[in-house]
Amino acid sequence: MQRIGVFVCHCGSNIAATVDVKKVVEIVRNEPGVVHAEDYQYMCSEAGQALIAKAIAEKNLSGIVVCSCSPRMHEATFRKAAERAGLNPYMVEIANIREHCSWIHKNVEEATEKAVILARAAIAKVNLNAPLKAGESRVTKRALVIGGGIAGIQTALDIADAGYEVDIVEKTPSIGGRMSQLDKTFPTLDCSACILTPKMVEAAAHEKITIYTYSEVEKVSGFVGDFTVDIRKKARSVDMDKCTGCGVCQEKCPSKKTPSEFNRGLGNRSAIYTPFAQAIPNVPVIDRDACIKFKTGKCGICSKVCQAGAIDYEQKDEIVTEKYGAIVVATGFDTIKLDKYDEYAYNQSKDVITSLELERVMNAAGPTKGHLERLSDGKHPKNIVFIQCVGSRCSDDRGKPYCSKICCMYTAKHAMLIRDKYPDVNVTVFYIDVRTPGKNFDEFYRRAVEDYGVNYIKGQVGKVAPQPDGSLLVQGVDLLDNKQILMEADMVVLATVIEPDPSVRKIATMLTASIDTNNFLTESHAKLRPVESPTAGVFLSGVCQGPKDIPETVAQAGAAAVKAIGLLAKDKLLTNPCTAKPDELLCNGCSACANVCPYGAITYETKLINDHGIREERRVAQVNNALCQGCGACTVTCPSGAMDLQGFSNRQIIAEVDAICR
């Protein structure tokens, strides 16, 4: 029989105003196993914890129940207090009489009754608790960063600066990501390349950082502290050691008709290419789908002109296998396809472009060399219309339900830059709401209105109709004037909703990291653990977790790095002892548990079993305690009741239910 102490917290008035704590103490005192019960104003305070320690020592308690707030809040606090007092921390149970009781009820009598019931359940469970001991696992002191945009680069730099090895895996031929495609950045209007390229160079030159470009993560196994990852280095067809980056091959390549991914398809690139001039590494790749040599067997000009002899048509994909202690996902975003938005005529007119395409148009290295011109005829536009929330805040099946967060600011930026450089151009912005929270953000938007004369109209555009003369007729509404507007435009710019890069789904599956309905990676706790995935050892950096701008991305990248460093700094990890444990005598080897395990923690082994004197070889389930997160999926799936969760055994759960139903 356990010797149980029950400690009922007032939580100031949070609990005590709705629950008669004195009454709870008096009633639970008579529960089986309870030898001590008391209440205190703030049980989590130092004085409250001292009360617990004193009772453990004086009454020789073997288990305790704390009736207080949610275990998410203070379970760790009370476990540590118990451990200091010489009690196994897993002999502590929390009865949540705040979130589950006092906060949601008004009637004191009923709330008190419920608090007693919740306490009874916890007491019934402690009666069946057994001391558990956390195991240990080793930590590989190397981190993997998936994605080489600003988020990945910043995370890698921060981890490397702390002295740990970092590998960046980037699927395109160069690091840099979306930020490298941007022209200027808000709210200070500094040039994106000027602040990004030094970071790219720093990452490439860092002795602790290895960059795998044109590479993808192929397979992930293992667990926190000890991941094993296969990286596929796609065949570049160019020897990275020999290539000097002179660029002659790209000049001479006769296949120049492939739409440039970097310029969002607004210009063409050659079959052998680096995405942009400042690419890192400055080593081109051959796009084998576009290369004449690969398609017809004839050509080979790049090989002939290469002084370094770096072209290698025979190169094959290569798999690199590496071990990591921590993995940071920084896969970034893309804009959605606008096929479903026919009313904006994006697919009908070259002069209807997305904001990301406008970035390329405004960029000196872009398809128009930075001149603002219509892409259909190269003419200078006189009237430009910006349409906000294209696909954002939609609850239909065309767009996304969330706000993309960055559009209001970049549109103000575009509008201002255009008015600054071309004062003859009229700029109109159709908006639903202007959302500019952030340091110097609203001031920035007001500057567009007040100093640059950008015409902001509250309302949406219903239709953009290309006219025979090449102009665009824009039909919109001014909701504040309650008037429909018909205006002519030369260019229309769509603030297109951003979505997580499509590659994230595959990566999330490999990492068993959860994603939400919009494919954003889920954080462990929206407020208190915003850069950690619920999967231990996996961290989140940048837009893969949710829409954010560059300053936020950099801040989050640093936070993810710190969390990864905190993990890598440890030599050993304590593992959660509340893991699944199979009863080998009951296990029938059906594999049902292994199939439902989201963490890949269950394997099967054929071993000699002594079943009440019968010795035979049986196929039985084995749980890797370092991988198991204690979710319990296997315990409810097991048809023979062989799988049980330590600390949450079937017997304990049933005892709790019994206590509640008594």
Partner 1 sequence: MSHDKTKKQAELIREISGVNPYKCMKCGKCSASCPSFNEMDIKPHQFVSYVLNDDLEALVNSKSLWKCLSCFACIERCPRDVKPGKLVDAARQLVVRERGGDFLSADEIPEKLDPELPQQLLVSAFRRYRR
- Which region among 301-309, 387-395, 436-444, 632-640 touches partner 1 (by CB under 8 A)? 387-395
Quick note: the x/- pattern for partner 1 over 423-442, rule CB under 8 A, is ---------x----------
Cα angle 277, 278, 279; round to 5: 95
How far, in Å, are 346, 387, 591, 618, 641 from residue 609 at the CA level?
Answer: 68, 70, 17, 6, 17
Assess 475 for contact with partner 1 (CB under 8 A).
yes
* Residue count, binding to partner 1 (CB under 8 A): 21
Q: How far is the CB of 466 from partner 1 (least distance, A)?
A: 17
Assess 382 for contact with partner 1 (CB under 8 A).
no
Smallest Cα–Cα separation from 220: which of 326, 141, 331? 326
Assess 477 for contact with partner 1 (CB under 8 A).
yes
Burial class (CB in 10 A: 0-12, 13-18, 19+), 481: exposed
- Which region among 30-38, 469-477, 498-506, 540-548 touches partner 1 (by CB under 8 A)? 469-477
Quick note: the x/- pattern for partner 1 over 141-180, rule CB under 8 A, is ----------------------------------------
Tokens of 387: 């349409």
Name which of 455 and 460 has its Cβ closer to partner 1: 460
Assess 517 for contact with partner 1 (CB under 8 A).
no
Assess 393 for contact with partner 1 (CB under 8 A).
yes
Within 263-292, the residues that bind partner 1 by CB under 8 A are none
E-assigned strands of 266-339? Answer: 268-269, 272-273, 285-286, 318-324, 326-329, 333-335
The sheet with strand 461-466 has its strands ordered as 461-466, 472-478, 483-489
**Residues 117, 292, 394, 586: which binds partner 1 (CB under 8 A)?**
394
**Residues 462, 466, 558, 632: which binds partner 1 (CB under 8 A)?**
462
Q: Which residue has the tokens 């996902």?
A: 329
Assess 463 for contact with partner 1 (CB under 8 A).
yes
Chain-centroid distance of CA 641 in Å reads: 36
Helix, strand and coil content of the chain, in percent to the nearest 5, comes to 30, 25, 45
H runs (alpha helix) in 97-231: 108-126, 150-161, 192-205
**Residues 440, 484, 509, 518: which binds partner 1 (CB under 8 A)?**
484
Cα distance between residue 506 and residue 288, in whole Å: 24
Q: 86 φ, ψ to 5°?
A: 95, 10
Cα distance between residue 454 and residue 456, in whole Å: 6
**Residues 434, 461, 540, 559: which binds partner 1 (CB under 8 A)?**
461
Assess 460 for contact with partner 1 (CB under 8 A).
yes
Assess 459 for contact with partner 1 (CB under 8 A).
yes
Name which of 109 and 481 has its Cβ closer to partner 1: 481
Q: How far is the CB of 391 from partner 1 (least distance, A)?
A: 8
Assess 458 for contact with partner 1 (CB under 8 A).
yes
Assess 395 for contact with partner 1 (CB under 8 A).
yes
Tokens of 659: 């206590």
Instruction: List contacts with partner 1 (CB under 8 A).
Output: 343, 389, 393-396, 398-399, 432, 458-463, 475-477, 479, 482, 484
